[in-house]
Amino acid sequence: MSKLKYEIPTINKIDFAMASKYGSPLKSQRVRTEIDGLKISELVKEYGSPIFVFSQRQIEEKYNILYNAFSSRYPDVKFAWSYKTNYLNEICKIYHDLGSLSEVVSEFEYQKARALGVEGKDIIFNGPYKPKVDLKIAVQEGAKIHVDNLFELNDLHEIADELNIKIPVAIRINMDTGTYPQWSRFGFNYENGDAFEAIKHMYDTGKVYLVGIHSHIGTFILDTNAYRLATMKIMQLKEEVEKKFNSEIEYIDLGGGFASKSNLKGIYQSAEVVVPTADDYAEAITNTIYEFNKSKKLPKLYLETGRHLIDEAGYLLTSVCGHKRFPDGKKGYILDAGVNLLYTSTWYNFNIELDKRYEGDNEPSMLNGPLCMNIDVIEENLMLPPLDRGRVITISPVGAYNYTQAMQFIRYKPAVILIDKSGEVRYIKEVDDLATVNYKEV
Ligand SMILES: Cc1ncc(COP(=O)(O)O)c(C=O)c1O
């Protein structure tokens, strides 16, 4: 029998999650042993830690549910993959193979889409800053340009002159949909007439013409009525523009914003209860188009859903590197992944699961990352059994916005693996090293 390690005895006041009629929190453990049938401990052994893991099967399942919800209600709907949500090449390719266009918000993302073989006409170019050189390339390649502001509109007028063409554009609008905070930074406001004035300016100048109206009302929107209002306002503006300028708006774009099954901080009911279904979102949008459509033709409908499609298909596996006892008696764990990899931990409470059941009573614990920064806290207070060095913890859902916003700060950005539909695992991004981090430094 191996000798047990000595640990200084302490007395802990357990001041939360007391035993109730549902049992004792001292024994309960949240455990996830596998992802798509593959043992988590084996994945870490083989591919390293920390590591992001994506499941192609889960990505495709979610996509099909949302796409069917819309396409079974509406004849002409297209999804455009929101690159910033996750722009790993292999992830984008999965969405393109499923039929998604690309939705990009910078020249970098635009170039990424082009490098993946997406044609200009299948790229929606959003964002508040599109450098003129890149805007011009996108125009020449036939991208769908969504105008954000008057400076950009002016650039487009100049580009139209330079190329001696009239440019088809869409306009991004913002509006009150009853959600807080209102996303009014992007595009032109609907209620105060800025949107209409900008469109009028387009027609007065005659260098661009409007083919689409777009609004992305926010993210993690739990109220489907917000989409009803957004669709109604877009349809009203469409009708007004078509009448006034005798033109046809080919498409409307409701952006993204559908929630994932993540737990937003401050919302105390579980995601299972508060997050609308794909059918709820689809019903709100498509019913409103039918209700307000006054022209003979229905507009094409684009959606730029990000978070809802990928969040739950992404996991972060991290290992315990050490533990200590803080002066207040709390157990502190040092993990090899921290806020450098979990940007969204500011807003969401993740599921934190052990790779198997461990012996011993739970005690109040804190999970810290590897950064030498006091803010590197993943979870301040949770009940955990004693975990030794090397124990693996799964953090989820982390598929949306975490990899793309992961910082190369203090530590290298980790590898990412994909479990494909046949259960095969492969790296889709290797761990960074000094050469990749330094390669442009002089
Ligand atoms: C213009 C635009 N479209 C789509 C998205 C994707 O949003 P979500 O991930 O909430 O679906 C965003 C994200 O902020 C966005 O800015």
> What's the maximum distance between 2 C-alpha atoms anywhere in the chain?
87
- Please tell me the predicted confidence (pLDDT) of residue 22: 54
174 lines ligand 1 (CB under 6 A): no
Q: What pLDDT, on the 0 to 100 scale, is given for residue 19? A: 61
C-beta of residue 412 within 8 angstroms of C-beta of residue 433:
yes
Spacing, Cα 362 to ligand 1 middle (Å): 39
Q: How far is the CA of 127 from the centre of ligand 1 (A)?
A: 10
Q: What is the pLDDT of residue 20?
A: 60
How far away, in angstroms, is 105 Cα from ligand 1 center?
A: 10
* CB of residue 256 inside a 6 A radius of ligand 1: yes
Nearest-10 crossing angle of helices 194-205, 150-163: 20
- Residues whose CB falls within 8 Å of the CB of residue 257, separated by 6 or more in sequence, listed in order: 216, 217, 218, 219, 220, 221, 227, 305, 307
The predicted structure's pLDDT at residue 15: 53
Taking the alpha carbons of 365, 368, 370, 372 in that order, is the dihedral positive or negative?
Answer: negative
Give 42 Cα–ligand 1 centroid separation in angstroms. 35
Query: Ligand 1, from 216, 222, 254, 402: best to mutate by most atoms within 8 Å of Cβ?
Result: 216
pLDDT along the chain (442 residues), means of 10: 75 58 72 98 98 98 98 98 98 98 98 98 98 98 98 98 98 95 94 98 97 97 97 98 95 98 91 95 98 95 98 98 94 98 93 95 95 95 95 98 96 98 98 94 92
d(CA 212, CA 238): 8
- Domains, the chain: 34-54+312-432 (2.40.37.10), 56-310 (3.20.20.10)
The residue nearest atom 16 of ligand 1, judged by CA position, is: 216
* pTM exceeds 0.85 for this model: yes
Q: Say yes or no: CB of residue 215 within 6 Å of ligand 1.
A: no
What gap in Å lies between CA 387 and CA 319, rounded to an integer? 10
Q: Which atom of ligand 1 is nearest to the CA of 146?
A: 1
Strands 101-104 and 77-82: parallel
pLDDT at 8: 74
Find out whether the beta carbon of 102 lies less than 6 Å from any atom of ligand 1: no
Angle at alpha carbon of residue 311, lines to 310 and 314, rounded to 5°: 90
The pLDDT value given to residue 5:
76
Residue 83: its pLDDT value, please? 98
**Atom 7, ligand 1: which residue's CA is nearest?**
256
Ligand 1, atom nearest to 221 Cα: 10
**Cβ of residue 368 lying under 6 Å from some atom of ligand 1:** no
Q: What is the pLDDT of residue 27?
A: 75
Q: Which atom of ligand 1 is nearest to the CA of 85?
A: 9
